[in-house]
Amino acid sequence: MKNTLSRNGSVNRGICRVSREDYLESIEEIYDIKRGEDGVLSGLNQRKEAVILEEDAIASMNMFGLPEAFWMSLRRSFRSGFHATGRN
């Protein structure tokens, strides 16, 4: 967990629960994770309850993989939107 924090504000992470055999048992999404002035990592669970996080907790980070065609379409949409408003 400690290696996934941002210096620019709070983060959301999936906190993994792992068995003794190192199998993933569950992932709980924790929101607004940050280090407090006291140095403790804390965030909010889905019920908006405060939770304290261990420094060495295993965190899952989201990554979106999108096909190249999506980016091409997005680029065309932005360009046409800018041209429609008179901006280049």
- Give the span between the Cα atoms of 56 and 36, in whole angstroms: 16
Q: Give yes or no for a contact between 85 and 77, defined as CB atoms under 8 angstroms apart.
A: no
pLDDT of residue 74: 85
User: Residue 41 pLDDT more than 80?
Assistant: yes
Q: Which H or E run contains 58?
A: strand 58-60
Read off the tokens for 44.
């909010």
pLDDT tens string 9-40: 999 999 999 999 999 999 999 999 999 999 99
Q: What is the DSSP letter of 21?
A: T
Q: Output the six-digit token pair for 3.
A: 């290696």
Alpha-carbon distance of 77 to 84, in angstroms, equals 10
